[in-house]
């Protein structure tokens, strides 16, 4: 039986949306994607988490810096407070329940905040380095990441370096205490992390659903397999 994988959404112009690549990647890997509307009642979110086998936190708009004690910088883009609130609660409930989480781009940032970390609001102003918002097709792998040996991600990639696409101007800064670095960009930005104690948590700053390479497929397959365990 296919596991039920919650997939977070974007809200725009009174509509919910999600890039089809997320749902298709989950389905190809053997899971049922379940699209999650914004819910802010904690009791309902807890009930929802009990019915899910795993959680895919997707990309999207910027994250409210008030969640980690900062005022907005000039480069901050559109934020979605309802989405932030739901994903914070749902992430914490799923972590407490030891259920698998794959967090992509914005998703890895909100997951890190949920676990006690923080983030850069605007890389261009706060941290000089390589281009992280590429001007190239989504499938193009624009920069290298250095993979940390002995990590879950190292087992998926099977090598010391891996090339990824990049579409972000925010990023993880201080990693939550329970998380460990799994990969970094050439300028030192955290590109992937995982949990020291949870059986399957993987956060990645790039968009594997858009790359459609063997490593990305393996990442989704490993996530869905963990949801079936």
**207 catalytic, yes or no?**
yes
Q: Burial letters for 79-90: b for 16+ Cβ neighbours within 10 Å, e otherwise?
A: bbeebbbbbbbb
User: Catalytic one among 105, 143, 168, 191?
Assistant: 105
Task: Choose, from 87, 191, 194, 209, the residue flagged as catalytic.
Answer: 209
**Which DSSP symbol is given to 23?**
H
How far is 82 from 225, CA to CA, in rounded Å? Answer: 30
CB-based burial of residue 189 (10 Å sphere; 0-12 exposed, 13-18 middle, 19+ buried)? Answer: buried
Q: Two tokens at 86? A: 């739901």
Alpha-carbon distances, residue 218 vs 9, 23, 98, 222 (angstroms): 23, 15, 21, 6
Catalytic residue among 132, 168, 198, 207, which?
Answer: 207
Both tokens of 177, joined, read 């205490």
Q: How do 32-36 and 119-120 pair as beta strands?
A: unpaired
What's the number of CA atoms in the CB half-sphere (13 Å) around residue 10? Answer: 17
Sign of CA dihedral 172, 197, 33, 144: positive
Catalytic positions: 105, 207, 209
């Amino acid at each position: 039986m296919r596991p039920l994988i919650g997939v977070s959404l974007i809200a725009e112009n009174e509509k919910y949306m999600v890039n089809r690549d997320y749902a298709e990647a989950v389905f190809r890997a053997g899971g049922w994607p379940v699209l999650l509307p914004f819910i802010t009642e904690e009791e309902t979110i807890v009930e929802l988490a009990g019915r899910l086998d795993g959680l895919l936190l997707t990309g999207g708009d910027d994250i409210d810096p008030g969640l980690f004690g900062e005022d907005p910088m000039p480069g901050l883009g559109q934020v979605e407070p309802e989405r932030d609130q739901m994903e914070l609660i749902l992430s914490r409930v799923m972590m407490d329940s030891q259920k698998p989480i794959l967090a992509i781009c914005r998703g890895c940032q909100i997951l890190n905040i949920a676990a006690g970390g923080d983030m850069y609001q605007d890389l261009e102003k706060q941290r000089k380095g390589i281009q992280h918002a590429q001007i190239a097709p989504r499938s193009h792998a624009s920069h290298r990441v250095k993979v940390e040996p002995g990590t879950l991600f190292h087992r998926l990639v099977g090598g010391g370096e891996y090339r990824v696409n990049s579409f972000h101007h925010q990023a993880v800064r201080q990693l939550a205490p329970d998380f460990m670095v799994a990969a970094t960009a050439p300028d030192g930005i955290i590109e992937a992390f995982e949990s020291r104690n949870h059986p399957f948590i993987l956060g990645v700053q790039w968009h594997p659903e858009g790359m459609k390479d063997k490593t990305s497929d393996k990442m989704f397959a490993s996530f869905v397999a963990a949801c079936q365990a």
